[in-house]
Amino acid sequence: MTSLDYATMFRLDGRHAVVVGCGGIGGEIAAGLAAQGARVSCLDKDPATAEAVRDGLADHQTRAHAAYPVDVLDPASVGRVAEDLGDVDVLVLTAATNVRKRVLDYSAEEFDRVVGLNLRATFDVVRAFAPRMVERGSGSIVALTSIRAVVVEPGQGVYAATKAGVTQLVKTLSAELGPSGVRINAVAPGVVETPLTEQIRADEAWGRAYAEKSALGRWARPEEMVGAVCWLASDAASFVTGSQVMVDGGWTAIDGRFTPPFG
């Protein structure tokens, strides 16, 4: 007889989920986790963003959700919040930045800024939250990476390097934390309509080329990232760790933008 209840295995009732980075995709993920029954703590550098997302969760359940200002570039700040939050069942990391330049045009400051937020902060946040999961023998961590972890284009080199680095951290942590019952996975979005991609979408030809690169022929909406995260957070993914789930509309499955004629 299975130990999983198929009727509830996607539910997160009674679990405490923390979302780090609540703008755009992060806000939708927080809403999705709450809709599945989790109590959600919203963490963001901008207190107003964290509070707005928390307040938007009020209709999902009567439990008290929380909002915390936290600068993920400050390990001490992250550590204090992790201590305040206590036991955490689900940790989702979404914070990221990009400077779209060719590598030879990058300044050292720009390199440090992108690596610091995308890679170093992932390292620091996991180190702050994972030990208590290890002590309890359970937990699910989900890091958002990108299609750029596996495919790249001019101007995306440093960003891509950080996302590939996060992917390798996820794999290593899955090996190190797995024996303690803690799972860690990545969700890799394709092109998503967020403030980070506004520059691309503002250029009609550029935006259309990106849309046509995927099998579905369009950009993703932020809410389309939620299902993969909620699945990985839940018991439905109880034997999934060290994986990177591509939520890219088929971008990485297709070679080039040309559709050849048939017949």
Among residues of the chain, what percentage have pLDDT more than 70? Answer: 94
> pLDDT averaged over the chain?
93
Instruction: Write out 119-176 in H/E/C secondary structure.
Output: HHHHHHHHHHHHHHHHHHCCEEEEEECCHHHCCCCCCCHHHHHHHHHHHHHHHHHHHH
E strand segments, the chain:
16-20, 39-44, 66-69, 90-93, 139-144, 182-189, 244-247
Q: Taking CA 212 as the corner, what is the angle to CA 209 and CA 218, rounded to the nearest 5 degrees? A: 110
What's the rounded Cα separation, in Å, for the pair 246 and 232? 13
**Helix axes 25-35 and 47-56, enclosed angle (nearest 10):** 30
Q: Which residues are catalytic?
A: 159
- Residues 62-106 have pLDDT tens digits of 467 999 999 999 999 999 999 999 999 999 999 999 999 999 999
What's the rounded Cα separation, in Å, for the pair 29 and 11? 14
- Tell me what the mean pLDDT of segment 1-25 comes to: 92
pLDDT of residue 72: 97
- Tell me what the mean pLDDT of segment 234-260 comes to: 90
pTM of the entire structure? 0.94
- Tell me what the mean pLDDT of segment 41-63 comes to: 86
- List CB contacts of 240: < 8 A, sequence separation 6 or more: 183, 185, 232
CB 106 within 8 A of CB 86: no
What's the rounded Cα separation, in Å, for the pair 188 and 186? 6
Write the DSSP symbol of residue 117.
I
Residue with tokens 């996975």: 185
pLDDT of residue 121: 98
What's the rounded Cα separation, in Å, for the pair 213 and 208? 9
pLDDT of residue 196: 78
- The superfamily CATH assigns to domain 16-245 is NAD(P)-binding Rossmann-like Domain (3.40.50.720)
What's the rounded Cα separation, in Å, for the pair 240 and 226? 17
Reported as a pLDDT band with limits 50, 70 and 90, residue 197 is: confident
pLDDT of residue 261: 64
What's the rounded Cα separation, in Å, for the pair 71 and 22? 12
Where in the chain are the domains? 16-245
Q: Which of 99, 107, 210 is nearest to 161 (CA)?
A: 99
